[in-house]
A and B are shown apart, each in its own frame.
Chain A
Amino acid sequence: KAGVTQTPRYLIKTRGQQVTLSCSPISGHRSVSWYQQTPGQGLQFLFEYFSETQRNKGNFPGRFSGRQFSNSRSEMNVSTLELGDSALYLCASSWGTASKETQYFGPGTRLLVL
């Protein structure tokens, strides 16, 4: 079974631009969560989508948004990029039918904001 895939793997943007990251979950998984990983803050929860609906949301500003499609693929968008948005963005998928499920992580998208 193929694992979680994320595209692109690397991105360089400049301040003020916007960016869209994509995540394809493991086949059959309907829950997709997004995390931001930085050296100083570690892994921080952004949001979780299940059946095309946002089910949970972390403490990030509204510039961070996401969506999920009917095939469970998810996208995350960051508008008006700031230098501090430079990070590794991880997505994780799970079946979604229960709470607190094992999360299967993708390789991440490394975003650099200049």
Chain B
Amino acid sequence: AQRVTQPEKLLSVFKGAPVELKCNYSYSGSPELFWYVQYSRQRLQLLLRHISRESIKGFTADLNKGETSFHLKKPFAQEEDSAMYYCALSVGTGNQFYFGTGTSLTVIP
């Protein structure tokens, strides 16, 4: 069965420090993975998807099929990065997504 695990519910880092939000998945097929973010009082929105191989707001994520992971990284955290981050896996045809339970990131000034 498909599953997405985000082991950290809460993560705090100091401004300027590196940050890594962990995401592991289980899926027997070829996965497509995403990171969604929800800033305070805003809607859930796409941050990045692995297939694009983009860096958005300084964040990157690499799909590691061997470790079944898709960790989100940023070398220097900013206060505006404080938000709730969700890792998501899409399977099959259409738009069926499995979300992790989310990690709340707080960047301490």
B69 within 8 A of A: no
**Residue in B90, B93, B95, B102 with the greatest tally of chain A CB atoms within 10 Å:** B95
Given A42-B101, A42-B102, A102-B49, A48 and B43 contact (CB-CB distance below 8 Å): no
Given A99-B90, A100-B32, A45 and B96 contact (CB-CB distance below 8 Å): yes
Number of chain B residues whose Cβ lies closer than 8 Å to a Cβ of chain A:
20
Question: Do A96 and B95 touch across chains, with their CB atoms under 8 A apart?
Answer: yes
Question: Do B43 and A107 touch across chains, with their CB atoms under 8 A apart?
Answer: yes
Question: Do B90 and A100 touch across chains, with their CB atoms under 8 A apart?
Answer: yes
Main secondary structure of the interface of A (DSSP, over half): strand
A50 within 8 A of B: yes
What total count of A-B pairs have CB within 8 Å?
62
Please indicate the chain B residues that have their CB under 8 angstroms from the CB of A41 in the complex.
101
**Residue in A3, A48, A90 with the greatest tally of chain B CB atoms within 10 Å:** A48
The smallest beta-carbon distance between A4 and chain B, in angstroms, is 8
Please indicate the chain B residues that have their CB under 8 angstroms from the CB of A56 in the complex.
92-96
- 0/1 per residue, A95-114, Cβ < 8 Å to B? 01001111111110000000
Binding site for A on B (CB under 8 A): 32, 36, 43-46, 49, 86, 90, 92-102
